[in-house]
Structure 1
């Protein structure tokens, strides 16, 4: 722990409190979740690539969303190591910068993709005759490329500014990754202004991508309610239900974590919501988009049948 006002060159991640036995239990649970997350999202990407029935804009966006979800979980292996060896994890300043930047940049990319998927569902339900023309391969590729390009540059300044402060109070981060709020908490400088700037940036990024989602689903719900038959309404809703469920979980947790004026608030609060974002949301992604979607459920079955047929031959 640092006691002099020098610039930190490394940080110690305290992780989770509790006994070694509790840490081993948490390791088993989190390792299971992490394994299922990686396997589930990998299966989604592979199925989308090989199944011609899933070569549509919706699944094109979903494939990239699954890739982002897997990359977002890159903070989990270090957390698992900390639980297994039951000692404070040390991370260099450079690694801390890279970890925070990747985590925030991928999160921003994810928001952009989720907004794009909402607009895609709006076109599919509200403008079905123009859907194939408007959502062609060129448009989809441009939207996905724009989402990735927007996600990374937009987080350069916030991360750069965060690490311009002098962290002299301590070098112990009471978290399982390089959380920005905990970093600002260790600074001896006045961080109030930059916290408000970061707050407004979070509002712009999160609510900026949430706005087209809200508008799209307002029109979608209005259109679905006008469908005369119950089977027609059910079919239209089923094509949007998985995405809508993901929006509620993903945006809900991020709004609680980032859209607040005070970035340095309650540690346990931040840990819980961060765990929800980095582990639970990516874990639920494969189940939400396959179990709530007829095409998603049928594709794995077709894949298994094809593999069995190849083995027989």
Structure 2
């Protein structure tokens, strides 16, 4: 490291979140849009959790996993959107070193948790359709809770590894992140020190902690589709597909938007456009998940109707 780099280093750097748009006149519109998105995300996912607790017919592994997915979506959105709204209101772009690393850690935890929960939910549907007679034996409550805790532990370990690697890096003074939240790859790019080990860790952890859940989802649905096609009854096929439709839509939305952002970052020169694209995987899926499960799932629609009927009679 040369003398100039050393002179530009600071032990407690301040990062600048450049956000999504440069035109300050559009900031009030951005605040309104993202506040609305955040409010819908919180209320929609909270409704899914309350209904899953309220309706005894939904006390099954599938809805236990769905409730945890909704809770995770609330936490993931809370990790990013409030800070962005606060910065716009204060006309500031800064976030402290500790604040940036904390935000990055939470995004990694809840992003990883979403990844694992989607794989667990795919496994649940695989057992329900391919091994229906053994479903209650395999998916017992203790095992379901263990799968959720294992997902959390895996996510925390992954986040902790990356956080510890970032802590060993030194940063220069001009630290601009072309996004509305602290994202691991962009933080590493700003380091003055060697980042080879960090990049290797990112690729390895992506292969393990993202590749394995995706492989599990693909494996589950290959067997699900194979089992459904062997069914003689068309009504049985429809019922089987309907139980998977919501989950498959959520999986497609989450991984489709994530893959789209990755492609966008490669083909686009504009970091601002990449930042806008990142909204598609870090904000939109969490807002749409409750609607997907509410509109595409017959049991959930009936539970929503009963819940609001009960609330109306109570009031």
CA distance in 2, matches of 1:304, 1:260: 42
Matching residue within 8, 13, 17 for 1:13 = 17
Contact 1:165 1:187 in 2 (8 A): yes
For the residue of structure 1 that corresponds to 2:94, the secondary structure is strand
- The reply on whether 1:99 has 2:65 as its aligned counterpart is no
5 Å matches for 1:1-313?
A: 4-74=8-78, 75-85=80-90, 87-168=91-172, 170-256=174-260, 267-268=271-272, 270-311=274-315
Q: Which range moved further: 90-99 or 171-180?
A: 171-180
CA distance in 1, matches of 2:66, 2:273: 30
CA distance in 2, matches of 1:241, 1:8: 48
Deviation, 1:260, is: 11
* Residue deviations 1:38-67 (CA, integer Å, cap 9, x gap): 000000001101110100000000000000
For the residue of structure 1 that corresponds to 2:38, the secondary structure is helix
CA distance in 1, matches of 2:72, 2:200: 28
Contact 1:115 1:209 in 2 (8 A): yes
CA distance in 2, matches of 1:110, 1:295: 23
CA distance in 1, matches of 2:155, 2:65: 15
CA distance in 1, matches of 2:258, 2:307: 35
- TM-score normalized with structure 2 length: 0.91
For the residue of structure 1 that corresponds to 2:15, the secondary structure is strand
Deviation, 1:129, is: 0.9
- TM-score normalized with structure 1 length: 0.91
Deviation, 1:182, is: 2.0
CA distance in 1, matches of 2:119, 2:176: 37
Count, aligned residues: 307
CA distance in 2, matches of 1:159, 1:204: 17
For the residue of structure 2 that corresponds to 1:170, the secondary structure is coil
Deviation, 1:258, is: 6.7
Deviation, 1:266, is: 5.9
Deviation, 1:163, is: 2.9
CA distance in 2, matches of 1:21, 1:178: 24
C-alpha change, 1:310 and 1:193, in structure 2 (3 Å) is closer
Is there any run of 5+ residues in structure 2 with no aligned partner, and where? none
